[in-house]
Amino acid sequence: MRLFFLLVLVCCLVLSRFWRLCSCVCVRSCVC
């Protein structure tokens, strides 16, 4: 569970910098 949460968090932070649209889906997954 922690690994999944970390992956989603990191993915959100990384993708949010390049694609702001990914921020809205940050909670669930990193798919826009």
Predicted TM-score (pTM) of this structure: 0.40
Contact 2, 8 (CB under 8 A): no
pLDDT at 32: 46
pLDDT at 21: 54
What are the tens digits of pLDDT across the range 1-32? Answer: 688 777 777 777 776 666 655 555 555 655 54
Q: What's the DSSP call for residue 22? A: G
